[in-house]
Amino acid sequence: MRRAVALAALGLGRTSPNPVVGCVVLDADGEVAGEGYHRQAGGPHAEVHALRAAGDRARGGTAVVTLEPCSHTGRTGPCAQALVDAGVARVVYAVADPTDQAAGGAEALRAAGVAVEAGLLAAEAERGNEAWLASVRLGRPFVLWKYAATLDGRSAAADGTSRWITGPEARADVHRLRAEADAVLVGSGTLRADDPHLAVRHGADGDVRQPLRVVADTAAATPPGARVLDGAAPTLLAVAPGADTSRLADAVRAGRAEVAEVPRAADGRGLDPRALLAELHARGVRSVLLEGGPTLAGAFWAAGLVDKAVGYLAPALLGAGPAALLDAGIDTVGDALRLDVDDVVRVGADLRLTAYPRRPAAAGRASARSAAPGNSTTERPVTVPATEES
């Protein structure tokens, strides 16, 4: 199962709006006969790839899958039936499929005489498929907040300069996060200050799927020459109702951007984060990488809409300048947003810290690291162990 989880991670960034899934087929003697993972939306599922690799050796064997095999016909056939047709005698899966459409695979397998077991390494499998599972359960995209800061929490110097707080290895790692996300989101302040490109460039292979670049641009103030309007990746400019979008007309006509109206927040400052996520979800976005800036991040934290945080901490001090997070609705230390650290990894000269918000439903549950492959030969784990569950 742990191998299946690692295989599933190979599909990150390519399967949305479908989940990432890995499968290992063992023959009747318990030897590995075939492996597979869901490579892209619309393509064969993990079980099909693994069964093709196993061939006749699958008969009488065991299929180990990270997600309950589906029982419906969409762009591909039902995996439960494929397992039955291949003569698999036993199926072990980690996580039950939470969708109404695809659930029921376990029942279909049992009805066909296949032995079925569930829950093996469920925590690890859930972590590896966290974005898709959250989007299904919450009805909105999974939000990962990424930030870079000095050890004293500054995201830029007093004069506004921020390039570069972290080193090249950390910046390359951010492109991995972009490649795994459906959308990358920034606010208009970050756009004006940094003119970010937001597309995947470093370390991306030729078939990378570029994320949707999204700018929360309440007043439609994006400059016509902004790098996000270069056509290198799809771009959505979210503006408030009635905003003057005339300066964006050329980019829209040329197909380099789309404009969508999103309601303002209740306090009138900026856009409503929930409405923005609803707009993105309606467009098929299941995961959002929230890259900046501190005001937009604060609004998402205040609304309880951040599901994961990844911070890149540089061994540097500025002593002044903007903080990485602003106005998250906290007035006293007793109301601080507490997070559970999942891991700390050295990336080049910097530290990458991954943490999850503490929520009542998750109290007392041990966290498990994602089984995604290592990202860089420069990474060295720090002794902050994660607990493995089975």
Q: Which amino acid does the sequence have at 294? A: P
Calpha distance 118→116 (Å, rounded): 7
* 47 is a catalytic site residue: yes
Residue in 31, 35, 47, 180 annotated catalytic: 47
Helix/strand/coil (H/E/C) assignment for every residue in the chain: CHHHHHHHHCCCCCCCCCCCCEEEEECCCCCEEEEEECCCCCCCCHHHHHHHHHHHHHCCCEEEEEECCCCCCCCCCCHHHHHHHCCCCEEEEEECCCCCCCCCHHHHHHHCCCEEEECCCHHHHHHHCHHHHHHHHHCCCEEEEEEEEECCCECCCCCCCCCCCCCHHHHHHHHHHHHHCCEEEEEHHHHHHHCCCCCCCCCCCCCCCCCEEEEECCCCCCCCCCHHHCCCCCEEEEECCCCCCHHHHHHHHCCCCEEEECCECCCCCCECHHHHHHHHHHCCCCEEEEEECHHHHHHHHHCCCCCEEEEEEECCCCCCCCECCCCCCCCCHHHCCCEEEEEEEEECCEEEEEEEECCHHHCCCCCCCCCCCCCCCCCEECCCCCCCCC
Interatomic CA distance for residues 64 and 58, integer angstroms: 12
Q: Which residues are catalytic?
A: 47
